[in-house]
Structure 1
Amino acid sequence: MKLIFSLLALTGGLAMGIQAIVNGGLGKRVGAIEASFISFLVGTAALFFLVLFFGKGNLLAISEVPKGQLIGGLLGAFFVLVLVLATPKIGVTATLISVIVGQLLIGSLIDHFGLFGGERFPLDLKKSLALLLMLASIYIFQK
């Protein structure tokens, strides 16, 4: 079962790579903020139909969730805007390296401190060194 979810995550990563170049090109034609809006609009329409035909949850429960859990949409919009701005300037690979390192940095902090109700996975010297090497890889890749 874990393999299926790992493959699903891998597929999501592949989609993110394609999204970077597609949204970057869209941004060149219509503007960065406009491209981000269009991307979210198309995604919202797709999700609307998925919820309509396959959803089993309860959208009305939104009033009961902690308000901090609603920030995901803002973070997603920020992420798409960053892709639209960065990809045409530094390329897909450099953008994704930076995105991945950013994800690993924040993931390590979330794990280390058990933030947002997560289980704690302490950050040790080896993990810290790996993160520093990844940060260095961004610099090296650009040279």
Structure 2
Amino acid sequence: MQKTTPRCFGTAALRRSISATPTSRRGQPFTPTGACRCCTNSPLKPGRVTVARISQAQSELKMVVGRGEILRRPMSFTGTSGVIRFDCGAEVARRALIDAQLEHHVSITYGDVKSGVEAAAAAADLPLLDLDAL
């Protein structure tokens, strides 16, 4: 069974079985993709994060990883948004993303899971671009 979010407690199967116009327990309508609007229009919570992505920029697979902190800031735009202070610094992160022609969407995981990402890259024989080492 699909895991639920702590905010809406809904699953896609449960929502489909309840009504044609499903809502979360808070009464919020769900988006066309099935996400509860109360879960898709909020700032990211402050805290330590690991940022990662398997990039296919320049037709080469590589793992990109870095660490930082989500800062408490007003929402930048509608949807889920946040401001990250990278451990390597904003300029280093920006240059790495642009110079390597990396995609701008990344995965964000709360906590320091960098060693796990590095192990996954090694197991998959992927080159590693470590933002913290630049």
**Hey, which of these two has a bigger chunk of strand by percent?**
2
TM over 0.5: no
**Hey, which of these two has a bigger chunk of helix by percent?**
1
Superposition TM-score, scaled by structure 1 size? 0.27
